[in-house]
Amino acid sequence: MNDVAAVVLAVVFAAVIGRQLAGRGPPLWTVFVAGGLLTVAAGVLTLAGAEEALASAAPTLVFLLSLFVFASALESAGALDHLARWLVGVARRPEDLGFYLFVGIGLVSAALINDALVVIGVPILIAAAAQLRIPPKPLLLVLAFGVTVGSTLTPFGNPQNLLVATQSGLPFPVVTFLRYLAVPTAINLLLGGLFLRWSFRRWMPVAGPEYDRSRQAAPPFWPAGPWGPRLRSRPVLAIFPATMALLVVLDIASAGTPIRSVPVWEVALAGAALLVVVSPHRATMLRRTNWSILALFAGLFVVVAGASAGGVIAALEAYLPVAGPGHPLEAIGTVVASSLAGSQLVSNVPWVALQLPLLHGLGYGAGTPEVWMALAAGSTLAGNVSLLGAVSNLIVVDRAAAKGVRVRLGEFVRYGLPLAAMTTAVLIACLAVGL
């Protein structure tokens, strides 16, 4: 094992852990970009090796870029603000608001990557709380918990799922995710919504004329008026759902017929490129795109490639207590448990990036989808254990603090830990039954 490679990896993740615990420090993307540069500067990876790592990661980066472009356009179009106000109108009683927001946010996060959704969602929900005259904190916690549980469902719901979809070797990622995770996600959205309805009911507004007026002011799901001018001004309202539908249909058709499988990132890129070409707001859309997350991923891929080239990943295999492909039930439990713990140290995206080469080294590939689903879903649900478990949580905290709302670690764990225990138990049971 290359000692320099081990030191570089340790320094990078020590910086990540330190920032997580202290709640301050340089943005995560700068940590990983600096780590990637250090990997090359220290000779752990040649410049050509770094270029090769980024080239192999190009599908993931392109998919992320495409989804962030869509998210930026949806924000500019006011689509998510409209959806949030509609959900307020759906809740006939104030105590039901937590349930409907959790389920609604969860379903949206299955189609729109969760990091982008929370960036948009924080100011929307703070404004909604002010209108309803309730503390914004419970709504922000519902946002954080909802995007975690709902994004488990699809390969494009969050970055760690996307890593698994593009780098595990699964031939039909959309079909595989839906096959293994549709049932546990549906159960978890229902149970989680009921749990949060009960937990946050005392914070909800008092039923009465004022709440009724807020409900009556909520817009219909489909806005009235001519759609032609609306779509010409905001083409994302048609292109985004069409792209997501095409992505799912093509993957399902490829799995059941001789039709050549079209990589999901190519479909997403085509939709985003079309949107950029036809949108009259392309400059604003591109300016608001979350480029820092893309930089984070680029640095992360170089750091992990250096650790692999330096023999660090191979050395860690000896300490990974995961059974081989012949023991799927045991492997599922171990992968989920280690993901819950490991994600609290380095966050779930870096954890998955490290686990991918380890599991490949143990012999897992396209023929072992249940273990890859355990890694994707386990690392995702780990985001509800604590604020440290997911980048999306840190985005919620940072964005809320900028608006004067402080979400404390203890408050998050008080509700997130039991929710994580409940949803993880459902996940393991469903994966075990599905073997």
Q: Which residues contact 386 (CB under 8 A, 6 or more apart)?
A: 344, 393, 409, 412, 413, 416, 417
Kindly report, residue by residue over 60-116, the tens digit of the pLDDT.
888 888 988 998 898 888 888 888 888 877 877 878 888 999 999 999 999 888 888
Q: Over the stretch 9-54, which tens digit does the pLDDT of each residue have? A: 788 878 877 766 676 777 778 888 998 899 898 888 889 988 988 8
Residue 140 sits at the vertex; the CA angle it makes with 27 and 191, to the nearest 5 degrees, is 120
pLDDT confidence of 1, banded at 50, 70, 90? low
Which of 36, 11, 16 is CA-nearest to residue 26?
A: 16
State the average pLDDT for the chain: 85
Nearest by Cα to 107 from 67, 157, 180: 157
pLDDT digits (tens, 9 = 90+) for 160-214: 998 899 888 888 899 999 999 999 999 999 999 999 999 998 887 766 676 777 7
Q: Average pLDDT in the 112-126 region? A: 87
Give pLDDT tens digits for 392-422. Answer: 887 888 788 878 888 888 889 999 999 999 9
User: Is the Cβ–Cβ distance between 288 and 39 less than 8 Å?
Assistant: no
218: DSSP letter? S
332-346 average pLDDT score: 85
The pLDDT score that the predictor gives to residue 171 is 86
CA distance 60 to 81: 28
- Answer with the residue of higher pLDDT: 398 or 314: 398
Instruction: Place 314 in a pLDDT band, splitting at 50, 70 and 90.
Output: low
Average pLDDT over residues 217-230: 82
Q: What are the structure tokens assigned to 35, written together?
A: 């780590």
- The answer to whether the CB of 110 falls within 8 A of the CB of 224 is no
Neighbours of 292 (CB within 10 A): 13
- 342 contact partners, CB below 8 Å, separation of at least 6: 351, 354, 355, 379, 382
Can you read off the two tokens belonging to residue 173? 């990622």
pLDDT at 145: 97
